[in-house]
Amino acid sequence: MNQDLLTRIRALEHQASFLEPAPLLRQQWNQETQLFADEFYDQLEDMPPYVTAENKGEGIKDYPFTETPKELSEILQVIQEHLVNISLNAASGFHFGYVPGGGIFPTALGDYIAAVLNEYAGIFFASPGAVRMENKLLRWMCQMIGYPATALGNLTSGGSIANLIAITTARDQKNIKAEMVKHSVIYLTRQIHHCVQKALRIAGLGEAIIRYIDMDASFKMDTIQLQQQIASDVSQGLNPFLLVGSAGTTDVGAIDPLAAMGTIAQQYDLWFHIDAAYGGFFMLVNDLHPQFRGIELSDSVAIDPHKGFFLSYGLGAILVKDVAALYQSHHYRANYMQDALGDFDELSPADLSPELTKHFRALRMWLPLHLYGLNPFRATLEEKVLLCRYFYEEVQKIGFEVGPFPELSIMIYRYVPSKGSANIFNEKLVKFLQVDGKVFASSTKIEDVFWIRMAVLSFRSHRKHVERCLQRLKEGVAKLMERDRQFS
Ligand SMILES: *Cc1c(COP(=O)(O)O)cnc(C)c1O
């Protein structure tokens, strides 16, 4: 019996040892992967930012999992054929849609090392270095927005989770128990990112009263109406508890009047949360600082390094002014975690977010920050703002109407034809750009008006990319006009 057991263990050990490649094989895989990455980078500038392909990744669906191994070269080939180039190419500098991400190369190096080390990054006891790295990044961001030393936060997978953590914390700090939800009031504008409404629902606040406050012509919250609305809600015996502002809206990049909102929040004892997922890192540009005045009055801020810090997707952050509030909502004690208690110099991320085991995601930001230093990040951010302003000027010269002057690097524009529906015309124009595939733009609708959006945020977008966008627009308008003439 015992002999059988040992024989079986030996056999299994032999099979299991395949999970640890021999050094030579590891080297070969490293090289093949590196080659794959290099080829991608070599072709990137000539790759279309968007492809409307017949093949919608079918090959991935049909590629079977097997008991036996496959060659890495074959697997990479499947990725190349059925994934790369049949999608929105978010790595392209010609991507001006939605909120473009980044993908600076050292993010990949950080992820690679993080995956190799597999540090247990959620608990100080398990990996003091990884936790210090995360908390150092968070303190650096807290300092950037002007938070005091009591502030900390958490590195999340993105802005949506960051906003969710903030809203959960606000709910608990303001003591919104189930029976209170229906009488509790939240203040937003219609320009808030939809992940905030989603977070409210997930956090059990779906039945709370939401007051959508009007905006001025630049899509910023009207704080006079805000104040009146809160006063009226208080006088009716309701329970105002949460004010959410934007520092860079998705549609037009608008920054709400944060200072005035912060003052009102203090006056009525509301939790003041700011969604700076897109806009936050523009604070690194000195000239833009005044626009963020008042951000330090907030209780929490969501910010996305995978947008404004140009990292590859998978890194957001929540910053909370009083870390005790974040801790109260997110820590828990379990007997099997007792060894992790005791002395610690740093709060553990696991006590500050819903996650326990987490990706060692600090490294993907910490490494590029050291490798490049801050200067190129500041310059790139300023370049994006100026490129957007340039586009704002130039697109008017070719006959387009524009929305508000871009405060950051997002703006809206549309072509108003002499006859026919402008909405339909611009819808067709966006389609033209997408099918044409030379640049990618996305659209939005504000009060039933269809607008095309210009979002300059890819670190790869430079002047020539913007020029090509202008040129494609000119061509698109000419084509659509020609078609209209033919059919009228
Ligand atoms: C992108 C974005 C979000 C959502 O963040 P994810 O990282 O996509 O989850 C929230 N708010 C704003 C303003 C955004 O631009």
Report which ligand 1 atom has the smallest distance to the Cα of 248.
13
Query: Out of 77-91, 280-294, 448-462, which region has the weakest mean confidence (pLDDT)?
Result: 77-91
Give the position of tokens 């067709």.
428
Q: How confident is the model at residue 110 (pLDDT cuts 50, 70, 90)?
A: very high
Ligand 1 centre to CA of 195 (Å) is: 7
In this model, does residue 339 exceed pLDDT 80? Answer: no
- What local confidence, expressed as pLDDT, does residue 344 receive? 79
Ligand 1 centre to CA of 191 (Å) is: 12
Summarize the confidence of residues 411-437 as an average pLDDT: 96
Q: How confident is the model at residue 469 (pLDDT cuts 50, 70, 90)?
A: very high
Report which ligand 1 atom has the smallest distance to the Cα of 316.
7
Report which ligand 1 atom has the smallest distance to the Cα of 193.
11
* Ligand 1 pocket mutation, candidates 193, 249, 442, 444, criterion most atoms within 8 A of CB: 193
Summarize the confidence of residues 380-392 as an average pLDDT: 98
449 token code pair: 């008006």
**Is the C-beta atom of 160 inside 6 A of ligand 1?**
yes
Cα(291)–Cα(197) distance, rounded to whole angstroms? 25
Span 169-192, pLDDT tens digits: 999 999 999 999 999 999 999 999
In this model, does residue 1 exceed pLDDT 70? Answer: no
In this model, does residue 53 exceed pLDDT 80? Answer: no
**Is the C-beta atom of 409 inside 6 A of ligand 1?**
no
Instruction: Report the nearest-CA residue for atom 6 of ligand 1.
Output: 159
Ligand 1 centre to CA of 456 (Å) is: 15
Enumerate the H helices of 236-374 as residue ranges. 258-267, 305-308, 323-330, 363-372
307 token code pair: 């947008």
Handedness of CA 265, 155, 181, 177 (dihedral sign): negative
340 token code pair: 């992790």
Span 80-102, pLDDT tens digits: 999 998 888 999 999 999 999 88
Ligand 1 centre to CA of 458 (Å) is: 15
Which helix (H) or strand (E) segment holds residue 276: the answer is: strand 271-276
Global pTM reads: 0.97
Structure-model confidence comparison of residues 1 and 332, the more confident one: 332
**Is the C-beta atom of 275 inside 6 A of ligand 1?**
yes
In this model, does residue 122 exceed pLDDT 80? Answer: yes
User: Would strands 184-188 and 209-212 be described as parallel, antiparallel, or unpaired?
Assistant: parallel
Summarize the confidence of residues 315-331 as an average pLDDT: 97
**Is the C-beta atom of 276 inside 6 A of ligand 1?**
no
Ligand 1 centre to CA of 443 (Å) is: 16
**Is the C-beta atom of 99 inside 6 A of ligand 1?**
yes
Q: With contact defined as beta carbons under 8 Å apart, do 437 and 444 qualify?
A: no
* Ligand 1 pocket mutation, candidates 165, 197, 250, criterion most atoms within 8 A of CB: 250
Q: Which residues pair with 443 in a beta bridge?
A: 452
**Is the C-beta atom of 152 inside 6 A of ligand 1?**
no
Report which ligand 1 atom has the smallest distance to the Cα of 304.
7
- ∠ CA(186), CA(230), CA(215), 5° rounding? 75
**Is the C-beta atom of 213 inside 6 A of ligand 1?**
no
Cα(415)–Cα(422) distance, rounded to whole angstroms? 7
